[in-house]
Amino acid sequence: MLKKQIESFINEEANSQLIDIEKAYAQKHALLNGVTTVETIPLQFQVIERCLKETEELIAEETTSFLTNSVHYLKEHANEFMFVASERFDVIRVDSFALEFDGAFGVYSALFGLRLQKKYSEFLHSYFKAHLHHDKMTYSAAFSGEDGLWEINLALDALDGFSEQQSFDEVLAQLYSLVFGLLEELEVAICH
What string of DSSP letters covers 41-58?
-----SEEEEEETTT--E
pLDDT mean by block of 10 residues, the chain; 192 residues: 82 76 90 79 95 96 97 96 95 96 91 95 93 79 91 93 95 97 93 75
pLDDT value at position 30?
87
Task: Look at strands 37-40 and 15-18 and give their pairing.
Answer: parallel
What are the angstrom distances between the C-alpha of 60 and each of 22, 57, 189?
31, 9, 42
- Tell me how far apart the alpha carbons of residues 155 and 137 are, in angstroms, rounded to a whole number: 7
DSSP state of 123: H
- Tell me how far apart the alpha carbons of residues 76 and 20 are, in angstroms, rounded to a whole number: 31
Please check whether residue 159 is in contact with residue 178, taking contact to mean a CB–CB distance below 8 angstroms. Answer: yes
Read off the pTM: 0.93
- Tell me how far apart the alpha carbons of residues 1 and 73 are, in angstroms, rounded to a whole number: 35
Q: Which CATH class is domain 47-191?
A: alpha beta
pLDDT value at position 112?
98
- Tell me how far apart the alpha carbons of residues 176 and 162 are, in angstroms, rounded to a whole number: 14
Nearest 5°: phi and psi at 26?
-60, -40
Please check whether residue 78 is in contact with residue 99, taking contact to mean a CB–CB distance below 8 angstroms. Answer: no
pLDDT value at position 97?
98
pLDDT value at position 10?
76
Nearest 5°: phi and psi at 56?
65, 15
pLDDT (tens digit per residue) in 115-133? 999 999 999 999 999 999 8
Sequence spans of domains, the chain = 2-40, 47-191
What are the angstrom distances between the C-alpha of 65 and each of 44, 45, 48, 76, 98?
12, 11, 10, 18, 18
**Tally of residues, the chain:** 192
pLDDT value at position 133?
82
